[in-house]
């Protein structure tokens, strides 16, 4: 096994998942020093079983760590061992969907791509896009990832089919929304590079549709993807530029759930990322309970994960554990299918000096996280 660059690939796939070396080491039952040496190439990986375990923790296929092409797949044992996570099973069809260039084909043929009944399809696509947004806001990522590949193709075909027709703006808007849904879902599952591709496509469609609010929404998704890829400075510059363009307005458009309550959730998340758990907890305790309960399940569960981190930061792991259970009850996929959810649970377990509560122990065992 060529191990010369495996360590670099381990680091490459770890960082977009926002998993520190310490958390990664804990989940592997190794030391932080061991992880650091592997990633820097000081120490080699000469055991296939260890590579498989690393792939399991990172929720990627073994071939991605070994730099194997998709058509030169790993052996059947590798494939079986790498099939446990939602993103590993379902992200590949979305990748294939993003590789379609229906508009480009239509351009070179000098005519739109035509279907059997082009006049009747846009309303169906519109309903499917609305359903996809609702599925995202329920944090039902398994159902969403099954829906997206077909929806991507339908929206792409619709945009080509209705080029230079009266329905062009509607078709372009729907395609841009599908790219945004895909970007958000991919970001949730730690696929930052793919999320960036989808977000960039969303910006292009929003510009083509001449919708300034949709452009701003799509740019915000690009900024999020850049941040996940470790490109903090470009992400900040993009977000500041976008905010300056829309500073006078404050509306809840385009499925953003944007409003005073969500702003407070973002404030708490920022405080946690900056290591100020006390500020995050204070922000959480000041939330209007009625308004918070009105938010989609995905938003509430994601906030519970952030506040669980805050309580862990402030030395209150048992309270953090209760927030994790609340997240699991509110929208289980937000905790169970996201690398970020696994990371928070691992951090809470690491900070718990006594035996964790039985429900947390059971949850960790289900997710194959060492207690």
d(CA 370, CA 361): 9
Name the band, by pLDDT with cuts 50, 70 and 90, for residue 311.
Answer: very high
- More confidently predicted of 164 and 361: 361
Q: Number of C-alpha atoms within 13 angstroms, CB side, residue 362?
A: 5
Domain boundaries along the sequence of the chain: 6-81, 86-246, 260-366
Lowest mean pLDDT of 15-24, 130-139, 271-280, name the range. Answer: 15-24
Report the candidate in 284, 268, 123, 97 with the shortest Cα–Cα distance to residue 183.
Answer: 97
The answer for residues whose C-beta is within 8 angstroms of residue 82's C-beta and 6 or more apart is 52, 55, 56, 60, 61, 62, 74, 88
pLDDT tens readout for residues 80-129: 333 333 334 457 788 877 876 655 444 444 333 344 344 457 888 999 99
Q: How high does pLDDT run on average in the chain? A: 79
d(CA 134, CA 299): 12
pLDDT tens readout for residues 36-59: 888 888 888 878 888 888 888 887
Q: Does domain 86-246 fall into CATH 3.30.70?
A: no
Query: Which CATH number does 6-81 carry?
Result: 1.10.260.40
* Confidence at residue 102, expressed as pLDDT on a 0 to 100 scale: 55
pLDDT at 180 over 80: yes
* Confidence at residue 358, expressed as pLDDT on a 0 to 100 scale: 87
Domains 6-81 and 86-246 share a fold: no
* Mean pLDDT to the nearest integer, 261-267: 90
- More confidently predicted of 242 and 28: 28
Report the candidate in 233, 258, 230, 264 with the shortest Cα–Cα distance to residue 246.
Answer: 258
* Confidence at residue 304, expressed as pLDDT on a 0 to 100 scale: 96
């Amino acid at each position: 096994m060529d191990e010369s660059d495996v360590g670099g690939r381990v680091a490459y796939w770890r960082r977009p998942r926002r998993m520190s070396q310490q958390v990664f080491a804990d989940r592997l039952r190794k030391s932080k020093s061991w992880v650091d040496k592997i990633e820097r190439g000081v120490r080699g990986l000469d055991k296939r079983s260890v590579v498989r375990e690393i792939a399991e923790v990172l929720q990627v296929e073994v071939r991605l760590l070994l730099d194997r092409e998709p058509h030169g797949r790993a052996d059947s044992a590798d494939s079986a061992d790498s099939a446990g996570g939602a993103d590993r099973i379902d992200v590949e069809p979305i990748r294939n969907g993003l590789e379609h260039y229906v508009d480009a084909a239509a351009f070179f043929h000098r005519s739109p791509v035509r279907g059997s009944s082009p006049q009747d399809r846009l309303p169906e696509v519109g309903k499917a896009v609305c359903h996809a947004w609702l599925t995202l806001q329920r944090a039902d990522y398994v159902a969403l990832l099954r829906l997206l590949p077909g929806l991507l193709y339908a929206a792409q075909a619709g945009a080509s089919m209705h080029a230079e027709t009266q329905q062009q703006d509607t078709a372009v808007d729907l395609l841009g929304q599908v790219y945004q849904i895909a970007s958000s879902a991919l970001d949730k599952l730690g696929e930052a590079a793919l999320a960036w591709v989808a977000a960039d496509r969303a910006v292009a469609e929003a510009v083509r549709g001449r919708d300034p609010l949709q452009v701003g929404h799509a740019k915000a998704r690009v900024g999020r993807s850049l941040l996940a890829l470790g490109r903090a400075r470009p992400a900040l510059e993009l977000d500041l530029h976008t905010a300056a363009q829309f500073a006078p307005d404050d509306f809840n458009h385009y499925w953003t759930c944007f409003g005073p309550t969500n702003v407070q959730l973002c404030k708490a998340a920022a405080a946690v990322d900056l290591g100020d758990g006390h500020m995050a907890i204070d922000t959480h305790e000041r939330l209007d309970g009625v308004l918070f309960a009105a938010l989609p399940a995905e938003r509430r569960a994601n906030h519970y994960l952030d506040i669980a981190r805050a309580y862990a930061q402030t030395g209150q792991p048992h309270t953090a554990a209760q927030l994790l259970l609340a997240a699991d009850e509110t929208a289980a996929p937000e905790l169970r299918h996201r690398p970020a959810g696994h990371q928070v649970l691992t951090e809470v377990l690491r900070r718990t000096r006594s035996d964790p509560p039985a429900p947390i122990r059971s949850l960790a065992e289900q997710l194959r996280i060492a207690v």
